[in-house]
Structure 1
Amino acid sequence: MDAPTTGGPTQGSDTAGGASAAPDEWVLVTDDPLTDYHPAFTGNGRLAARVPAAGNGFAEAPVRTQFHVAGLYTGRGGEWSRKASLPAWTTLDVSDGSGSFNDAFSSVRATGEQLVGGDWAAVTRPEAGAARGIERYRQSLDLRTGVITTEARWTSPAGRVTDVRYQVLIDRSRPHVGAVTVTVIPHWEGTLVVNDTLDDRAAARTTPARQGAGAGRIWTVTEAEGSGIVAAVVSVLDAVAAPRSPAGEGTAAQTVTVRALPGQAHTFTKYVSVVTAHDADDPHAAARAHADAAARAGYGRLADDNRRAWAREWEGDIVVRGDARLQRQVRASKFYLLTSVREDSPWSPSPAGLSSDSYNGHVFWDTETWIYPSILAQHPQIAESVLDYRVRRLDAARAYAADGGHSGARFPWESSLTGDEDTPAWAPFGRLEQHVSSDVALAFWQYWLATGDERWLRTSGLPVLSAVADFWTSRVTADAEGRCHINGVIPPDEYAEGPHDDSVYTNVAARAVLRFAARAAERLGQPADPRWTDVADRLVIPFDQAQGIHPEFTGYEGQRIKQADVVMLAYPWENPQSAEVTRADLEYYVPRTHEEGPSMTDSVHSIVYAELGDAKAAFEHTRRSVEPFLRPPFEQFAEARTGGAFTFLTGHGGFLQEFLHGYSGLRWRADRVVLAPILPDPLDGIALRRLRWRGRVFDIDIRHDGTTVRLHAGEELPVEAAGQLHHVPAGGEVRLATRTPLADR
Structure 2
Amino acid sequence: MPSPTADPSWLSVEDGANPAREREIESLFAIGNGYFGMRASLVEGARFSHPSTFVAGIFVADGVMGPRRAVLPDWSHFEVEVEQERLSLGVGRVLAHRRQLDLRQGILWREWRQQDPSGRITRLTYFQLASLADRHVLLQSVAITAENYAGRIRFTGRLCPSDMAGTDVEQIDAVSGSLLMSVPGKDIGIATASELQSLPASVPPRHESGPDGREEQWSWEVTLGQTVRLNRIFTIFTSRDVASPATTARDHVASIRAHGFRALAAAHLEAWRRRWEEAEVRIMGDDVAQRALRFATYHLIAAANSADEHVSVGARGLTGEAYRGHVFWDTEVYMLPFYLLTAPPTARALLMYRYHTLGGARRKAREQGFDGALYAWESADTGNEATPRRAVLPDGRIVTILTGEQEHHISADVAYAVWQYWRASGDDTFMLEAGAEILVETARFWASRAQAEPDGRAHIRQVIGPDEYHETVDDNAFTNAMAIFNLETAADAMEILQRKRVADWPRLCTHIHLAREEPARWRALAGALVTGFDPATKLFEQFAGYHQLDEVDVVTQRGCATPIDTCLGPERIRRSKAIKQADVVALSALLWEKWPTAVHEANFRYYEPRTAHGSSLSPAFYALVAARLGDRALALAYFRQAAEIDLANNMGNAAGGVHMGALGALWQAAVFGVAGLRMCENGIVLDPHLLPGWAEMAFPLQWRGRLLHVHLNADPRRIEVIVEKGDELTVAVLEGPACSARGGQRVVSRGNGSGWANWEVGQ
TM-score by length of 1: 0.88
Give the aligned length: 684
Distance in 1, Cα, partners of 2:286 & 2:47: 35
SS state of the match for residue 337, structure 1? helix
Report matched runs for 1:707-718 at 5 Å.
707-718=719-730
**Partner SS state of residue 60, structure 2:** coil
Match of 1:735 among 748, 751, 761: 748
CA–CA distance in structure 1, aligned partners of residues 677 and 647 of structure 2: 29
Kindly tell me: are residues 42 and 23 of structure 1, through their superposed partners in 2, closer, same or farther at Cα, counting changes over 3 Å?
Answer: same
Q: Return the letter of the residue paired with 2:113.
A: R
Matches of 1:78 and 1:693 in 2, distance apart? 45
User: What does 1:64-103 correspond to in 2, within 5 Å?
Assistant: 64-75=50-61, 77-101=63-87
Aligned counterpart, 1:41: 30
Question: What is the correspondence of 1:180-191 to structure 2 with a 5 Å cutoff?
Answer: 180-187=140-147, 188-191=149-152
1:502 corresponds in structure 2 to 475
Correspondence list, 1:88-487, <5 A: 88-101=74-87, 104-105=88-89, 130=90, 132-187=92-147, 188-201=149-162, 204-215=165-176, 217=177, 219-239=178-198, 240=201, 241-249=204-212, 251-316=213-278, 317-346=280-309, 347-426=311-390, 427-487=401-461
Q: Which position in structure 2 is the counterpart of 1:540?
A: 530
**Is 1:583 aligned to residue 556 of structure 2?**
no
Look up the match of 2:486: 513
Structure 1 unaligned blocks of 5 or more: 1-12, 16-20, 106-129, 633-637
State the shift of 1:80 in Å. 0.9
Within 2, Cα distance between the matches of 1:253 and 1:613? 61
Q: Deviations over 1:587-612 (max 9, x none)?
A: 111111115x1222111111111222
Question: Which residue matches 1:8?
Answer: none
SS of the counterpart of 1:201?
coil
Partner SS state of residue 592, structure 2: coil
Deviation at 1:639, TM superposition (A): 8.0
Contact 1:14 1:29 in 2 (8 A): no
- Which one-letter code corresponds to 2:582 in the other structure? A
Deviation at 1:517, TM superposition (A): 0.8
Q: Are residues 642 and 96 of structure 1, via their aligned partners in 2, closer, same or farther at CA, if it must alter by over 3 Å?
A: closer
The more displaced of 727-736 and 475-484 is 727-736
Report SS of the residue matched to 1:444: helix
Residue type at the aligned position of 2:611: T
The answer to whether the 8 A contact 1:676-1:738 is kept is no
Structure 2 partner of 1:571: 589
- Secondary structure of 1:395's partner? helix
- How far residue 519 of structure 1 moved from its aligned partner, in angstroms, is 1.3
Residue 640 of structure 2 corresponds to 623
Within 5 A, what are the aligned runs for 1:626-645? 626-627=643-644, 629-631=645-647, 638=649, 640-641=651-652, 645=656
Tell me by how many angstroms 1:501 deviates.
0.8
8 Å CA contact retained: 2:52, 2:162: no
Equivalent position SS for 1:640? coil
The 1-side partners of 2:233 and 2:753 are apart by: 55
Give the CA deviation at 1:65.
2.7
Of stretches 614-623 and 387-396 in structure 1, the one that deviates more from structure 2 is 614-623
Q: Which runs of 5+ in 2 are unaligned?
A: 391-400, 499-504, 506-515, 552-576, 756-763
* Amino acid aligned to 1:29: V
Taking structure 1 as reference, are residues 712 and 178 closer, same or farther at Cα in structure 2, changes over 3 Å only? same
Is the aligned partner of 1:693 residue 2:703? yes
Pairwise CA RMSD = 2.3
SS of match in other structure, 2:690: coil
Instruction: Measure the CA separation in 1 of the matches of 2:105 and 2:604.
Output: 40
Counterpart of 1:721 (choices 709, 728, 733) is 733
What displacement does 1:23 show?
4.0
Question: Separation in 2 of the partners of 1:350 and 1:89?
Answer: 23
CA shift, 1:181, in A, is 0.9
- Amino acid across the alignment from 2:282: V
1:455-476 CA distance string (max 9 Å, x none): 1111111111111111111111
Deviations 1:593-643 (A, max 9, x none): 115x1222111111111222222222222122223x2336xxxxx582565
Out of 682, 691, 706, which is 2:693 matched to? 682
Q: How far, CA to CA, are the matches of 2:299 and 2:685 in structure 1?
A: 28
Could you tell me how far apart the structure 1 residues matched to 2:615 and 2:632 are? 23
How far apart are residue 651 of structure 1 and its match?
Answer: 1.4
Residue 68 of structure 1 contacts residue 354 of structure 1 at CA under 8 Å; is this kept in 2?
A: yes
User: 2:72 touches 2:162 (CA, 8 Å); kept in 1?
Assistant: no
Q: Secondary structure, in 3 states, of the residue corresponding to 2:135?
A: coil
Counterpart Cα distance in 2 of 1:265 and 1:422: 51
**Local SS of the residue matching 1:529:** helix
Assess if the C-alpha contact under 8 Å between 1:678 and 1:739 holds in 2.
no
Matched, 1:594 2:557: no
User: Which residue pairs with 1:672 in the alignment?
Assistant: 683
Secondary structure of 1:25's partner? helix
Residues 23 and 195 of structure 1, relative CA distance in 2, 3 Å threshold: same
Matched, 1:648 2:665: no
Q: Deviations over 1:647-698 (max 9, x none)?
A: 1111111111111211111122232222211212311011112x00001100
SS of equivalent to 2:385: coil
Separation in 1 of the partners of 2:374 and 2:592?
23
- Asked if 1 retains the 8 angstrom alpha-carbon contact of 2:677 and 2:684, the reply is yes
Contact 1:88–1:203, Cα closer than 8 Å, also in 2: no
Structure-2 separation of matches of 1:141 and 1:714: 35
8 Å CA contact 1:244–1:256 kept in 2: the answer is yes
Letter in structure 2 aligned against 1:486? I
The 1:173–1:642 alpha-carbon spacing in structure 2 relative to 1, beyond 3 Å, is: closer
More helix per residue: 1 or 2?
Answer: 2
SS at match of 1:285: helix
Aligned counterpart for 2:540 among listed residues 521, 533, 550: 550
Partner SS state of residue 623, structure 1: helix
Alignment partners' CA distance in 2, 1:193 and 1:76: 39
- Residue 452 of structure 1 deviates from its aligned partner by 0.5
1:613 and 2:630 correspond: yes
How far apart are the structure 2 equivalents of 1:739 and 1:256? 70
Residue 61 of structure 1: aligned partner? 48
Matched residue SS, 1:653: helix
